[in-house]
Amino acid sequence: MTDRRTVLLLPGQGAQREGMGVELYGRHPAFTACTDGLFRSLDSEGARLAVEWQRAAPNPALDDVGVAQALLLIVGYALGTAVRGLAGGPDVLLGHSAGELAAACLAGVFPPEDLVRLLAARSRTLHPDGRGGMLAVAAAPDELPEPFEPGVALAAVNGPRHCVLAGPEPALRRTASSLLAADFSFRRLRSSHAFHSPVMRHTAAQFRRELGALRLNAPHSTLISSRTAAPVSPSQAADPSFWADQLMLPVLFWPALKSLLDEQGHRPGLVLLDGSSDRSLTAAARRHPAVRNGRSLVVPLLAPTQPDARGADLSAWTAAAELLAGGDPSVRHTAQA
């Protein structure tokens, strides 16, 4: 049977959940060492983040962008480090929004110590003009009522009929009223800012300056951009604007995932490792024919978040580990072949 390549999918803003990945802490050495190291690097802020990470639901602190994105990046990077220990992979990395920075770090665009700097810079550069909100809508982009309210923009395409709108609060409330009147299903995401919309331009400009102080390298493994829905080139990886402008441009996660599955999902097939605790990336992947017909697999890595995060179990991780270790002979890290 032909080997399948492994793809690590990392979530972004809106997918944060209480205790995401905490079931691995203290029980998986690489994951534990990685999270401990990153928390320590952030000094007192890291200590606060560690407490918020393990706090049981409901935890309003996760609605704070600085807390949510820091934890998404730390858990995402630590999870990628743990996956390397399972199968030597992943072969391909695809991150959604903030998850793309964790994926870039895993691909060698910048070292872990610079990830810590980016965590601090990401929070420090948030401009008041970017405050607002985000709405997840059960619709394809071309099904949405237009024109949008001034300031509201398409922020993400997460599935064939799942997109996100973002904008300043008054305009977003009017948009929600219009969607309700038109009988669209939607929900509010946990975000205090209108990410991936033009109102983030001031934050993007400041973040670009922060990135300019770092050494950015070509990725050493395949890194798919959710900004372009294509592999990141060496010149793109080295350009601070490429990463900073992500803040004000739409996330093309579904086009990126669809393109990957269209090209490689049927033969030989892919193993998609879902790093989200809300299984949102699994839900997206299962929309594709290559997953529905069994040519490609989608494997959740984390337990669904429970009311008490400390009660989460290791069953999801154990099942993934057994699969990658040889439970399915078609799943091996192809770079070792």
pLDDT band, residue 322 (cuts 50/70/90): confident
Residues 129, 133, 74, 158, CA torsion sign: negative
Which amino acid is residue 50, in one-letter code? A
Are residues 217 and 140 part of one domain?
no
Are residues 223 and 252 part of one domain?
yes
- Domain end among 177, 193, 209: 193
Q: How far apart are CA 284 and CA 296, in angstroms?
A: 13
**Burial bucket for residue 177 (CB in 10 Å: 0-12, 13-18, 19+):** exposed
Q: How far apart are CA 161 and CA 147, in angstroms?
A: 19
Question: 331 has which bridge partners?
Answer: 4
- Domain end among 173, 193, 213: 193
Q: Is the confidence at residue 133, as pLDDT, over 70?
A: yes
In this structure, the number of other CB atoms found within 10 A of the CB of residue 30 comes to 17
Are residues 96 and 144 part of one domain?
no
Are residues 252 and 114 part of one domain?
yes
Q: Is the confidence at residue 170, as pLDDT, over 70?
A: yes
**pLDDT of amino acid 247:** 93
Among 236, 227, 224, 214, CA closest to 120: 214
pLDDT band, residue 2 (cuts 50/70/90): very low
Average pLDDT over residues 99-114: 94
282's enclosing H/E stretch is helix 280-285
Are residues 29 and 17 part of one domain?
yes
Q: How far apart are CA 69 and CA 62, in angstroms?
A: 9
pLDDT band, residue 333 (cuts 50/70/90): very low
Of 62-71, 97-106, 246-255, the one with minimum mean pLDDT is: 62-71
Instruction: Supply the mean pLDDT for the chain.
Output: 89
- Domain end among 166, 193, 220: 193
Are residues 39 and 186 part of one domain?
no
Start-to-end CA span in the chain (Å):
13
Q: How far apart are CA 194 and CA 150, in angstroms?
A: 13
Report the length, in residues, of the chain.
Answer: 337
Average pLDDT over residues 218-223: 97
Contacts of 312 (CB under 8 A, 6+ apart): 19, 22, 23, 303, 304, 305, 306
Are residues 155 and 299 part of one domain?
no
Are residues 79 and 52 part of one domain?
yes
Q: Give me 313's structure tokens.
A: 């179990």
**pLDDT of amino acid 116:** 77
Are residues 119 and 203 part of one domain?
yes
**pLDDT of amino acid 309:** 47
More confident residue, 66 or 153: 153
Q: Is the confidence at residue 307, as pLDDT, over 50?
A: no
Are residues 286 and 323 part of one domain?
yes
Domain CATH code at residue 148: 3.30.70.250
CA angle, residues 70, 42, 155, in degrees to nearest 5: 20
Domain CATH code at residue 271: 3.40.366.10
Question: Which residue segment(s) compose the domain that 254 sits in?
Answer: 5-124+199-336
Are residues 311 and 184 part of one domain?
no
Provide the domain count of the chain.
Answer: 2
**pLDDT of amino acid 191:** 84
pTM of the model: 0.91
Q: How far apart are CA 246 and CA 269, in angstroms?
A: 29
Are residues 312 and 276 part of one domain?
yes
6: Cα separation from own chain's centroid: 16
30's enclosing H/E stretch is helix 29-41
Q: Is the confidence at residue 68, as pLDDT, over 80?
A: yes
